[in-house]
Chain A
Amino acid sequence: MNITLRVWRQKGQDDEGRLATYKLTDVSPDMSFLEMLDVLNEKLTLEDEDPVAFDHDCREGICGACGVVIDGEAHGPERTTTCQLHMRSFKDGDTITVEPWRAQAFPVVKDLVVDRGSFDRIIQAGGFISAPTGTAPDAHANPIPKPDADRAFDAATCIGCGACVAACPNASSMLFTAAKVTHLGMLPQGQPERAARVVKMINQQDEEDFGGCSNIGECAAVCPKGIPLDTISQLNRDLLGSLGKGVG
């Protein structure tokens, strides 16, 4: 396959950035999208041109490090992570535009690499159960109905890649926050901190300059892990409950 790439190049956070065009020949349909970028980088390096920076690590769709916007879609045309997208999803002769996640809360580090530390800080604000090591009762002390455990698991599969923010017209991180609120809120262990957790996480999310949710559903549509949109409704319910109790 022959491919024309338009790749976002930006030296650093304060640089303006631009789209640069590169041509690649002999692209195999079995290559992953990131392997195609590897090939581009080998070529650029041998031509004394700065290789394109992009985040990636496990390359099996679970670490959440990779993620670029491909032709306007977060992680590209398939519902998976960028590392699990393969070139067979494109056609010979295609022009493909590659951009970083764009959001104030995800400043560009270089080229396609962004800083997602804001996600970590949302978790710091309350995305945990306080269970210091050694304090745990026996694992069977608390049976959990299977439907609750399954729903908690579905929400817990979030990989923190940030595609939800990238795709949201408001650059909102609601699906990310809601996934954690739902995961912990479905479990009996999560109950003591439930009312305070959602308030702290929402406040942190707002302070990181993420936008508000307008229930458009773009986030869930691009989520490579299929985090359900209704987790956002669960978060809203929890938050309204907290506000009602005066936990603000």
Chain B
Amino acid sequence: MANSTLTKKRSTAYGSTVALKTAMAITGAILVLYLIAHMYGNLKIFSGQEAFDGYAHSLRELGYPMLPENGFLWIFRLVLLASVLIHIYAAVTLWARARRARPAAQRYKVNKRVARSYSSYTMRYGGVLVALFVVFHILHLTTNDIAPGGRSDSPYERLVNGFQPEFWYVTLFYVLSVIAVGLHLRHGIWSALATLGVNMSRRQGMLNAIALGIALIVTVGFLLPPLAVTFGLVS
């Protein structure tokens, strides 16, 4: 076994696993910030229909008249879409690399988790679930192509119609998906911080606490409006 055969083929570090992880971390951070803003908007439902619809409408006029109507929204959507696509591309590429690094034939016969949290364990399949949910969610509450409780031009009504007690299965799917998002954030935020080089031994506990805190806030924040509808607190 001569080991003096240093690979001469030189890949560039711009395409390295670390660079891909960095892309995931940055795009993930954008998406987390968006989620926090989105959650803030959702909670307006407790201020009544007017406040909620007014808030939704104001988003369309953000930046107006500097930008055309809906202009900001579309820039925002493009940034989000690009983030999602880059995030997914990097995830899939890294997933493929991980599979190549330990092919199916080389799996362990006995597996044991030593340090892995449930959230890190579910990152990949949880991520797929979240992606599917996002598609459903847009069709449901944004474009309203899926409208179990009837279509409406009022975002408030779309929400209230969608989560009526008789559509408990919609609520249930939503709840499960939001929990999946929470789990994804729990590991994702920590991982992004570590990837961006923020982790140091003495900070490790704090970073994990931040990740857990944000994940909990986002999960609860997103669960409150639909559950309030289902249980008749908002109508």
Contacts of A240 in B (CB 8 A): 18, 22, 196-197
Q: B94-113, CB under 8 A of A: which get 1 and which 0?
A: 10011011110011111111
The reply to whether the CB of A206 lies closer than 8 angstroms to some CB of chain B is yes
Are the CB atoms of A233 and B112 closer together than 8 Å? no
Question: Chain B residues with Cβ under 8 A from A214's Cβ?
Answer: 21, 94, 120, 123, 191
* Chain B proximity mask over A212-248: 1 for CB below 8 Å, otherwise 0: 1111111011100000111011111101101100011
Query: Are B102 and A171 closer than 8 Å at their CB atoms?
Result: yes
Distance between A231 CB and nearest chain B CB, rounded to angstroms: 9
Bits for A150-183, please: 1 = Cβ < 8 Å to B, else 0.
Answer: 0000000000000000010111100000000000
B13 and A104 contacting across the interface, CB-CB below 8 Å: no
* Size class of the B contact interface (CB-based, 8 Å): 35 or more
Complex interface residues of chain B between 179 and 221 (CB less than 8 A to chain A): 187, 190-191, 194-201, 203-204
Q: Are B17 and A206 in contact (CB under 8 A)?
A: yes
- When A121-B7, A228-B201 are in contact, do A206 and B111 touch as well, CB less than 8 Å? no
Q: Give A23 to B111 CA distance when docked, in angstroms.
A: 22
Shortest Cβ gap from A162 to chain B (Å): 13
Instruction: Annotate B70-109 by CB proximity to A: 1 below 8 A, 0 otherwise.
Output: 0000000000000000000000001001101111001111
> Which of the listed residues B18, B112, B117, B195 has the most CB atoms from chain A within 10 Å of its own CB?
B18
B198 and A233 form a contact (CB under 8 A): yes
**A234, B94: Cβ atoms closer than 8 Å:** no
A125 to B7, CA, bound (A): 9
Closest chain-A Cβ to B200's Cβ sits at a distance in Å of 5
Cα separation A187 to B6 with both chains bound (whole Å): 26
The chain B residue with its CB closest to the CB of A16 is: B105
Q: Which of A72, A115, A239 is the one whose CB lies under 8 Å from B13?
A: A239
Closest to B15 in A: A206
Determine if A97 is an interface residue (Cβ-Cβ < 8 Å): yes
Contact of A233 with B200 in the complex, beta carbons under 8 Å: yes
Interface residues of A in 91-110 (CB under 8 A from B): 97, 99, 102-105
CB–CB B9/A207 < 8 A:
yes
Interface centre among A97, A171, A214, A233 (most CB of B within 10 A): A214
- Cβ of A172 and Cβ of B110 under 8 Å apart? no
Q: Which residues of A contact B16 (CB under 8 A)?
A: 202-203, 206, 239
Are A230 and B18 interface neighbours, CB within 8 A? Answer: no
CB pair B20–A167 under 8 Å, yes or no, is: no
Determine if A212 and B20 form an interchain contact, defined as CB atoms under 8 angstroms apart: yes
Contact A220 B116 (CB under 8 A): no
Q: B1 near A211 (CB under 8 angstroms)?
A: no
Cβ-defined partner of B101 (8 Å) among A8, A97, A105, A115:
A105
Would you list which residues of chain A between 78 and 124 have a CB under 8 Å from chain B? 97, 99, 102-105, 115, 117, 120-121, 124
Instruction: Contacts A19-B109, A202-B13, A236-B22 given; indicate if A117 touches B101 (C-beta within 8 A).
Output: no
Q: Which residues of B contact A212 (CB under 8 A)?
A: 17-18, 20-21, 94, 97-98
- Decide if A218 touches B115 in the complex (CB within 8 Å): yes
Write the chain A residue with the least CB distance to B102.
A171
How long is the Cα–Cα vector from A205 to B196 in the complex, in angstroms? Answer: 19
Select B7's contact among A6, A204, A210, A237, beta carbons within 8 Å.
A204
A35 at the interface (CB under 8 A from B): no
**B residues near A97, Cβ cutoff 8 Å:** 109-110
A-side contacts of B47, CB under 8 Å = none
Docked pose: A120 CA to B2 CA in angstroms: 11
Residue A199 lies at the interface, judged by CB distance under 8 Å to chain B: yes
Instruction: Pick the 10 closest A-B CB pairs, nearest first.
Output: A237-B197, A212-B17, A72-B112, A211-B101, A221-B115, A233-B199, A171-B101, A170-B98, A211-B98, A215-B191
- Other 4 A-B pairs with CB < 8 A, given A169-B98, A209-B100, A236-B18: A104-B103, A212-B18, A212-B21, A217-B120
